[in-house]
């Protein structure tokens, strides 16, 4: 007798993972219960067979399974940033700390993984800072009403437009991605455990885990952790800031690090039942490729965010699930965006020279990688403590100047965020028109010319073939133009969209980064009061002023880095856009000239 089950929730299969998309309420036949790892093989009414998470289905007769399967419905839990309990700062408020919103399956797979003897990985804590996150409307980090976010742009091959990502699917995907590595016995992922955040996660802490360790430094305890700490001089880590022509600048390496992300390869696990994609990353320093899966990038992102997020905006990774029509397109798109992210990281002098980034790019073997990973996860110079490593080679700034700069950067990044979003909105609409109604119209024009030409051909009148041939050719030319119009956005607008999309993500990080600075400034402003009430010593106040100056140098260096990259990026992308646009219009003109020449001159 076939064992039947019913889908409790919608589940969207990830391409290439042997998964099966199911709709809530759908009846399935269980074809293999012994897959393990929370997966079950099932067949739907159309005869398609694939893996479905055990949690998502309810057996028609009870089946002894792992705890909690098929009971609770997935719930959206909203976790806000915890307010630090450094109660001496009674005016403390996390100025720009965004309300983090993220979905998690209430029937939490991690509550199982955490019970796993090999321990849990941290990757599941992945947050989606606003800017690149899609869906689930996070609070606008700029504090204004967000409108017209062109989330429809998902890359060049997506049609019809606008294409909204199914967030549930994305979450499932992440869940799967994690599971994949931890349960595997074949890969090197088994031992990828760690304890990156300071918080010990309990088996049922699903509503807390999301944001608590996202910015362990500042969201847990605010900049006061740094402002008042006994600074320990660490030997190796040192981030000097120089005064260059444009003002404070990071120390730039002589040759810029770069890398190529290429050659996506499908790997598989669980005897071929689960598959994943591995990318080859080749840095220009060693010219030796290393392999990484998306989840390793995600791990790197988390480390960089932990370590540098208070001082440097770390853009989030490209969306985990960019929904493409075909697996191939999806992989291509993800790779292109991972390349963009890596290039940006490589270009950053602080990020690219960090130990964690280097180990990611240059590990020699699995043992090397594992050692590097463990070390990175144990790094304590994270959050606001990163400022302890910053050493400006210039005189301290007074608070007024610090505040002015901070305000200026805030204004600029907010204004640029608006500008970038406007381009994305307009570009998205243009994309839709160019791939939708416009080519259809050119096609209809082309058809109309050809149809009339066909009628003319039926006239029985002698000697009009020159006209009808020419009209048919003109009609075909408009059909060609239709195709050119439809394909053009991939050749030019795509890059404008990608660049602006990247900047939207990057700019979305600034409110957090600037928020840390604003909070620090507020603390320093309170210093007199705190001294008066003996909450801090006069020496503490001097230290705080000096440290907020250091933070300001860091922010200025970072802004200057941002500006120089911005100028480079926009100059490049505008050039490319216009170059391709010129080619496009010239090609059309040439085609039409050719069509024109076929008519008789009178």
Site residues, its own copies (CB under 8 A): 245-246, 408, 411-412, 415-416, 418-420, 422-423, 426-427, 429-430, 433, 437-438, 441, 444-445, 447-449, 451-452, 454-456, 458-462, 464, 466-467, 470-471, 474, 560, 563-564, 566-568, 570-572, 574-575, 578-579, 581-582, 585-586, 588-589, 592-593, 595-596, 599-602
First CA to last CA distance, the chain: 84
Q: Which residues of 107-132 are buried (b: 16+ CB within 10 A; e: fewer)?
A: bbbbbbbbeeeeebbbbbbbbbbbbb
**Nearer Cβ to its own copies, position 242 or 599?**
599
Annotated binding residue 334? yes
293 is in an annotated binding site: yes
Q: At closest approach, how far in Å is the CB of 498 from its own copies?
A: 15
Q: Is 337 annotated as a binding residue?
A: no
Yes or no: say if 35 and 270 are a contact pair by the CB < 8 Å rule: yes
Tell me the C-alpha distance between 57 and 25, whole Å.
Answer: 9
Phi, psi of 168 (to 5 degrees): -60, -45
Q: What minimum distance in Å lies between the beta carbon of 479 and its own copies?
A: 13
Smallest gap from Cβ 144 to its own copies, in A, equals: 16
Work out the burial of residue 86: count CB atoms within 10 Å of its CB; fewer than 13 is exposed, 13-18 middle, 19 or more buried: middle
Residue 583 C-beta: closest distance to its own copies, Å? 8
Taking the C-alpha atoms of residue 173 and residue 150, their distance in angstroms, rounded to an integer, is 23
Task: Report d(CA 118, CA 182) in Å as an integer.
Answer: 8
- Taking the complex as a whole, how short is the minimal distance between the CB of residue 586 and its own copies, in angstroms? 5
Name the residue nearer to its own copies (CB basis): 271 or 461. Answer: 461
CB distance 167 to 97 below 8 Å = no
CA distance 140 to 271: 44
Q: Which is nearer to its own copies, 380 or 407 (CB)?
A: 407
Closest distance between its own copies and the C-beta of residue 410, in Å?
A: 12
* Identity of the residue, 67 or 437, whose beta carbon is nearer to its own copies in the bound complex: 437
Q: In whole angstroms, how close is the CB of 429 to its own copies at the nearest point?
A: 6
Rounded-to-integer distance, Cα 249 and Cα 451, Å: 66
* Minimum CB distance to its own copies, residue 436 (Å): 12
Name which of 377 and 502 has its Cβ closer to its own copies: 502
Residue 596 and residue 593: Cα distance in Å, rounded?
Answer: 5
Q: How far is the CB of 400 from its own copies (least distance, A)?
A: 17
Is 411 exposed, middle or buried (CB count within 10 Å of its CB: 0-12, 13-18, 19+)? exposed
The residue (of 10 and 487) whose beta carbon lies closer to its own copies is 487
28 — phi, psi (to 5°)?
-125, 155
The structure tokens 């066909």 sit at 454
Q: Which is nearer to its own copies, 80 or 577 (CB)?
A: 577
Is the separation of the CB atoms in 345 and 351 below 8 Å? yes
Extract the tokens encoding 497: 């969209």
CB 6 within 8 A of CB 52: no
Our CB check for its own copies shows the closer of 73 and 454 to be 454
Q: Give least dist CB 593 to its own copies, A.
A: 5
SS3 484: helix
Question: What phi, psi does 276 have (nearest 5°)?
Answer: -150, 170
- Rounded to whole angstroms, the Cα distance separating 360 from 317 reads 15
Residues 6+ apart with CB under 8 A from 387: 226, 310, 311, 547, 550, 551, 554
Contact at 8 Å (CB) between 264 and 278?
yes
CB 239 within 8 A of CB 561: no
Task: Compute the distance between CA of residue 559 and CA of residue 562 in angstroms, rounded to an integer.
Answer: 5
Comparing CB distances to its own copies, the nearer of 378 and 596 is 596
- Residue 412 C-beta: closest distance to its own copies, Å: 6
Q: Which is nearer to its own copies, 127 or 488 (by Cβ)?
A: 488
Q: Can you point out the beta strands (E) in 116-257?
A: 239-244, 247-250
Select 378 or 563, whichever has its Cβ closest to its own copies.
563
What single DSSP character describes residue 22? Answer: B
Q: Which two tokens stand for residue 240?
A: 């000097």
Quote the least distance from Cβ 559 to its own copies, whole Å.
8
Residue number with CB closer to its own copies (127 or 552): 552
Rounded-to-integer distance, Cα 567 and Cα 429, Å:
25
Whether the bond between 160 and the residue before it is cis, its omega within 30 degrees of 0, is: yes
Binding-site entries:
293, 295, 334
């Amino acid at each position: 007798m076939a064992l039947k089950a019913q889908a409790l929730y919608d589940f969207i299969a990830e391409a290439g993972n042997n998964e099966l998309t199911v709709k809530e309420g759908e009846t399935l036949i269980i074809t293999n219960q012994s897959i393990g790892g929370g997966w079950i093989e099932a067949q739907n009414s159309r005869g398609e067979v694939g893996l479905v998470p055990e949690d998502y289905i309810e057996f028609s007769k009870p089946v002894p399974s792992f705890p909690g399967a098929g009971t609770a419905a997935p719930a959206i839990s909203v976790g806000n940033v915890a307010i630090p309990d450094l109660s001496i700062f009674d005016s403390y408020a996390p100025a720009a700390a965004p309300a983090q919103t993220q979905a998690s399956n209430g029937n939490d797979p991690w509550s199982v993984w955490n019970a796993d003897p090999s321990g849990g990985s941290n990757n599941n804590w992945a947050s989606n800072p606003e800017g690149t996150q899609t869906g689930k409307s996070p609070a606008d980090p700029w504090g204004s009403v967000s409108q017209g976010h062109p989330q429809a742009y998902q890359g060049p091959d997506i049609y019809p437009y606008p294409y909204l990502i199914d967030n549930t699917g994305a979450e499932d995907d992440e869940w799967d991605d994690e599971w994949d590595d931890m349960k595997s016995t074949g890969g090197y992922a088994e031992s990828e455990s760690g304890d990156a955040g300071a918080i010990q996660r309990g088996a049922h802490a699903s509503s807390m885990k999301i944001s608590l360790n996202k910015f362990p430094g500042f969201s847990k305890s605010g900049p006061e952790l740094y402002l008042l700490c006994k600074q320990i001089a660490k030997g190796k880590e040192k981030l000097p800031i120089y005064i260059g022509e444009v003002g404070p600048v990071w120390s730039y390496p002589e040759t810029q690090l770069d890398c190529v992300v290429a050659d996506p390869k499908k790997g598989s696990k669980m005897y071929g039942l689960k598959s994943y994609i591995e990318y080859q990353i080749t840095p220009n320093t060693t010219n030796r490729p290393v392999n990484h899966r998306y989840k390793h990038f995600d791990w790197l992102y988390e480390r960089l965010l932990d370590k540098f997020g208070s001082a440097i905006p770390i853009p989030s990774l490209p969306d985990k699930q960019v929904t493409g029509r075909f697996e191939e397109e999806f992989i291509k798109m993800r790779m292109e965006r991972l390349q963009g992210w890596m290039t940006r990281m490589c270009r950053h002098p602080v990020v690219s020279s960090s130990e964690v980034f280097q180990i990611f790019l240059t590990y020699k073997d699995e043992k090397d990688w594992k050692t590097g990973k463990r070390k990175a996860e144990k790094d304590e110079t994270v959050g606001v403590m990163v400022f302890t490593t910053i050493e400006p080679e210039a005189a301290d700034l007074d608070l007024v100047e610090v505040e002015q700069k901070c305000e200026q950067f805030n204004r600029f990044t907010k204004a640029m965020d608006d500008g970038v979003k406007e381009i994305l909105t307009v570009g998205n609409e243009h994309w839709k028109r160019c791939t939708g109604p416009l080519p259809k119209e050119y096609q209809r024009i082309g058809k109309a010319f050809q149809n009339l030409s066909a009628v003319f051909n039926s006239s029985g009148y002698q000697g009009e073939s020159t006209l009808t041939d020419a009209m048919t050719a003109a009609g075909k030319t408009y059909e060609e133009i239709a195709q050119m119009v439809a394909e053009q956005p991939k050749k030019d607008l795509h890059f404008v969209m990608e660049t602006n999309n990247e900047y939207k993500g990057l700019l979305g990080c600034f409110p957090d980064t600037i928020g840390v600075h604003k909070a620090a400034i507020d603390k320093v402003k309170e210093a007199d009061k705190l001294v008066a009430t003996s909450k801090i010593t006069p020496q503490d106040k001097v230290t705080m002023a000096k440290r907020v100056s250091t933070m300001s140098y860091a922010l200025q260096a970072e802004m200057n880095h941002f500006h120089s990259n911005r100028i480079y990026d926009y100059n490049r992308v505008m050039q490319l856009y216009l170059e391709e646009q010129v080619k496009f219009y010239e090609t059309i003109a040439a085609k039409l000239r050719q069509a024109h020449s076929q008519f008789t001159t009178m």
